[in-house]
Amino acid sequence: MPYCVECGGEYEPGVDRCPDCDSQLVETMPPENPDADPDATLVEVYSSPGDTEALIIKGLLESEGIICSLSSDVPHSVVPIEIDGLGAVRISVSDADAERAVEIISRSQKEGN
Ligand SMILES: [Zn+2]
């Protein structure tokens, strides 16, 4: 799918310049958006009993350059993610980062909180 790096617009195959920016379209998303990659496989690396711990681990992983996503058993449309103590929160990372993420999490837990 041709994609404009200037405005982020996607165009039909066969279009090679962005009509808005007059910029050359590229075939793939730029690598600085790995979380937008539909081919990335997410692997669950940790299940936290609450949002607070999940957010700490998320920050830890992101400080190591690992992008992660949180998911909860409780639908977000009903219960906002900010509310603590309602169901487990699962932390997933792309499979390429999974091994390193598990290491980082277990290291932080050995060090103690
Ligand atoms: Zn454009």
Q: Is the pTM value of this prediction over 0.85? A: no
The answer to whether the CB of 33 falls within 8 A of the CB of 10 is: no
Q: Could you say which residues of the chain have pLDDT below 70?
A: 29-40, 73-86, 112-113
Taking the centre of ligand 1 as the mean of its atom positions, its distance from the CA of residue 6, in whole angstroms, is: 5
Taking alpha carbons only, the member of 2, 21, 24 closest to residue 11 is 2
Residue 91: per-residue pLDDT:
93
Domains of the chain (ranges; CATH) run: 42-69+79-111 (3.30.70.1530)
State residue 86's pLDDT score: 59
> How many C-beta neighbours within 10 Å does residue 85 have?
8
pLDDT digits (tens, 9 = 90+) for 57-69: 999 999 999 999 9
| pLDDT for the residue numbered 103 | 96
What is the CA(94)–ligand 1 centre distance, in A?
A: 29
State the distance from the centre of ligand 1 to the C-alpha of 14, rounded, in angstroms: 15
